[in-house]
């Protein structure tokens, strides 16, 4: 088993019922807001809530107002949300509103600071990047350290990353049988390498079997790993080496520092990667491919074509089940509200309100993501947050000549065991569809894992 550790339905959209005299071009939430705009004052908050406007509807109305460049009305609505149902320490809805209000405020600061003749929100955001708290600049060392700490915390308190790692590892283990004496894993954005110790342990157990007699010599394992921080990469390699040695595995680690993900495309050839013909190659793209997305997806297609040319035994792909890559701010906003609403709901169901880990993950990790999706457009956005749904990844993989490798029933049972043992909540739901796995919360898929060759 690979469960060790290392030291397609959606929420129904709730909107007010549209009346016959309503303009069909205006979003129903905004229509209701416009009908009662004179009542949208902070002193009349009980009236707002008595009319059945949920926090979700108010957030969506605010996004619509910004899309229509009605900044003064958006400001008033943000004030109402901030004072009535926003708190980083409240329930999941209040915490969600807090993060989205912050992101909307950043966006408003950007567009309001733009020249008056500028009518494009994208242009306004681009022209005032400094106003939006230099949202997209490279993080300081302290900020990067906080993000790395949050990543480890996220890996522990939610099943999403562990589910992705566990399922990808099982696909690799099944694709590369025990007769291979050398395995080479090309891992994109390895971070702390928490994915690989369970696979190492599974490889050792498979080689030695349940008895003391040796069935097959343990395979030599090589990992070529990319990342942005050489120090972190070296520390990860050292930890993995110590763990491999404790299992009696021959292990080699090669770090590749990339300041730009597109630059990796130049490395994707056998000579640069140091591939050997007798090695079984596995390519691991867990929560990575979206970083190569552009408007025309040219870089991604080139990347996949190069990977295909390496003739890997298996390619593992894990991605968010969300469309955060829409060029339209409003569409992207609604998608983000529902996606992160489910994520925050899962955190509330499994962690106490006073959990420092929960607070850190919500504010530092997810807060940063929400700000990126909401507050900036086009080139001002980080590429790390250009998520797409599985259907799009499937189309792009097949376009590059890959075929889907069905994930096994054992992999499914193993993922279910992970949820049952470590995250015992009925809200988490695991489904198999199109030979791939989807993990979600309360009927909303949030992550997908698939394998290809």
Residue ending a domain, among 382, 402, 429, is 382
**Mean pLDDT calculated for residue range 205-220:** 71
DSSP code of residue 42: G
Phi/psi of residue 85, nearest 5 degrees: -150, 45
Structure tokens at 250: 């021959």
**pLDDT band of 25, cuts 50, 70, 90:** very low
The CATH number of the domain holding residue 438 is 3.40.50.150
Report the alpha-carbon distance of residue 200 to residue 333 in Å, rounded: 41
**Mean pLDDT calculated for residue range 154-168:** 97
Instruction: List pLDDT tens digits, range 133-153.
Output: 334 444 677 888 888 899 999
Residue 19 falls inside a structural domain: no
67 and 118: one domain? yes
Has residue 184 got a pLDDT over 70? yes
Residue 263: its pLDDT value, please? Answer: 84
What would the DSSP string read from start to end of 141-159?
A: HHHHHHHHHHHHHHHHH-S
Residue 60 to residues 332, 342, 412, Cα–Cα distance (Å):
11, 16, 36
Structure tokens at 448: 């997908």
Number of domains in the chain: 2
Nearest Cα neighbor of 122 from 136, 135, 110 is: 110
Residue 128 falls inside a structural domain: yes
Q: Is 421 exposed, middle or buried (0-12, 13-18, 19+ CB in 10 A)?
A: exposed
**Mean pLDDT calculated for residue range 159-171:** 98
163 and 82: one domain? no
Has residue 255 got a pLDDT over 70? yes
Determine contact, residues 214/208, Cβ cutoff 8 Å. Answer: yes
Residue 91 falls inside a structural domain: yes
Residue ending a domain, among 365, 382, 399, is 382
Residue ending a domain, among 367, 382, 397, is 382
The gap from C-alpha 421 to its chain's centroid, in whole angstroms, comes to 23
Percentage of residues of the chain with pLDDT beyond 90:
66
**pLDDT band of 325, cuts 50, 70, 90:** confident
Residue 273 falls inside a structural domain: yes
149 and 279: one domain? yes
pTM: 0.84
Residue 111: its pLDDT value, please? Answer: 79
Containing 336, the helix (H) or strand (E) segment is helix 329-350
Has residue 3 got a pLDDT over 70? no
Has residue 11 got a pLDDT over 70? no
User: 316 forms bridges with which residues in the sheet?
Assistant: 284, 451
Alpha-carbon Rg for the chain, nearest whole angstrom, is: 24
Phi/psi of residue 182, nearest 5 degrees: -145, 130
209 and 75: one domain? no
Q: Is 7 exposed, middle or buried (0-12, 13-18, 19+ CB in 10 A)?
A: exposed
116 and 75: one domain? yes
Has residue 131 got a pLDDT over 50? no
Determine contact, residues 427/11, Cβ cutoff 8 Å. Answer: no
73 and 210: one domain? no
Residue 389 to residues 290, 308, 331, 339, 452, Cα–Cα distance (Å):
10, 22, 14, 12, 17
Residue 152: its pLDDT value, please? Answer: 95
Instruction: List pLDDT tens digits, range 326-382.
Output: 888 999 999 999 999 999 999 999 999 999 999 999 999 999 999 989 987 755 555
281 and 413: one domain? yes
305 and 409: one domain? yes
Nearest Cα neighbor of 307 from 255, 262, 268 is: 268
Beta strands per DSSP E along 365-453: 404-405, 428-433, 436-441, 444-452
311 and 182: one domain? yes
Determine contact, residues 310/275, Cβ cutoff 8 Å. Answer: yes
Instruction: List pLDDT tens digits, range 56-110.
Output: 999 999 999 999 999 999 999 999 999 988 999 999 999 999 999 999 999 998 8
Residue 190 falls inside a structural domain: yes
Residue 450: its pLDDT value, please? Answer: 98
152 and 173: one domain? yes
Q: Which residues of 207-228 are buried (b: 16+ CB within 10 A; e: fewer)?
A: bbeeeeeeeeebbbbbbbbbbb
Residue 23 falls inside a structural domain: no
What would the DSSP string read from start to end of 257-298?
A: E-SSGGGGGGG-SHHHHT--TTSEEEEEEET-GGGG--SS-H
**Mean pLDDT calculated for residue range 115-138:** 41
174 and 192: one domain? yes
Residue 133: its pLDDT value, please? Answer: 38
**pLDDT band of 260, cuts 50, 70, 90:** confident
Residue 427 falls inside a structural domain: yes
270 and 165: one domain? yes
Vertex 8, ends 347 and 341: CA angle to 5°? 30
**pLDDT band of 39, cuts 50, 70, 90:** very low
Vertex 139, ends 135 and 141: CA angle to 5°? 155
Containing domain of residue 213, as a range?
145-322+386-452
Report the alpha-carbon distance of residue 68 to residue 437 in Å, rounded: 39
Residue 14 falls inside a structural domain: no
**Mean pLDDT calculated for residue range 109-132:** 50
């Amino acid at each position: 088993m690979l469960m060790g550790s290392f030291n397609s339905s959606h929420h129904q959209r709730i909107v007010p019922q549209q009346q016959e005299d309503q303009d069909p071009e205006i979003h129903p939430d905004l229509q209701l807001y416009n009908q009662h705009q004179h009542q949208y004052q902070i002193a009349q908050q009980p009236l707002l809530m008595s009319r059945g406007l949920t926090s979700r509807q108010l957030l969506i109305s605010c996004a619509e107002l910004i899309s229509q460049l009605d900044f003064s009305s958006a400001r008033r609505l943000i004030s109402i949300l901030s004072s009535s149902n926003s708190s980083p320490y409240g329930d999941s809805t209040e915490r969600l509103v807090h993060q989205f209000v912050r992101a909307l405020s950043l966006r408003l600061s950007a567009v309001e600071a733009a020249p008056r003749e500028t009518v494009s929100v994208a242009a306004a955001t681009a022209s005032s990047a400094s106003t939006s708290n230099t949202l997209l600049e490279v993080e300081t060392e302290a900020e990067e350290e906080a993000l790395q700490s949050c990543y480890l915390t996220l890996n522990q308190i939610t099943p999403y990353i562990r589910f992705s790692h566990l399922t990808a590892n099982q696909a690799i283990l099944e694709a590369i049988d025990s007769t291979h004496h050398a395995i080479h894993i090309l891992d994109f954005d390895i971070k702390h390498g928490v994915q690989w110790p369970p696979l190492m342990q599974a490889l050792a157990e498979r080689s030695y079997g349940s008895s003391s007699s040796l069935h097959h010599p343990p395979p030599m394992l090589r990992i070529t790993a990319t990342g942005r921080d050489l120090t972190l990469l070296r520390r990860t390699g050292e930890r993995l080496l110590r763990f491999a040695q404790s299992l009696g595995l021959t292990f080699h680690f090669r770090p590749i520092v990339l300041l730009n993900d597109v630059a990796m495309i130049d490395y994707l050839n056998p000579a640069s990667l140091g591939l050997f013909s007798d090695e079984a190659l596995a390519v691991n793209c867990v929560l990575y491919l979206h970083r190569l997305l552009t408007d025309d997806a040219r870089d991604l297609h080139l990347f996949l074509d190069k990977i295909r040319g390496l003739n890997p035994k298996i390619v593992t792909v894990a991605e968010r089940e969300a469309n955060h890559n829409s060029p339209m701010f409003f569409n992207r906003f609604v998608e983000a509200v529902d996606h992160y609403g489910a994520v925050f709901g899962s955190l509330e169901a499994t962690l106490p309100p006073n959990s420092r880990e929960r607070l850190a993950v919500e504010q530092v990790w997810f807060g940063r993501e929400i700000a990126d999706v909401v507050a900036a457009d086009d080139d001002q956005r980080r590429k790390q947050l250009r998520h797409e749904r599985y259907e799009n990844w499937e189309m792009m993989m097949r376009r590059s000549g890959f075929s889907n490798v069905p994930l096994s029933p054992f992999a499914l049972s193993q993922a279910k065991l992970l949820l049952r043992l470590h995250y015992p909540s009925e809200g988490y739901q695991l489904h198999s569809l199109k030979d791939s796995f989807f993990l979600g919360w309360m009927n909303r898929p949030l992550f997908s894992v698939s394998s290809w060759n």
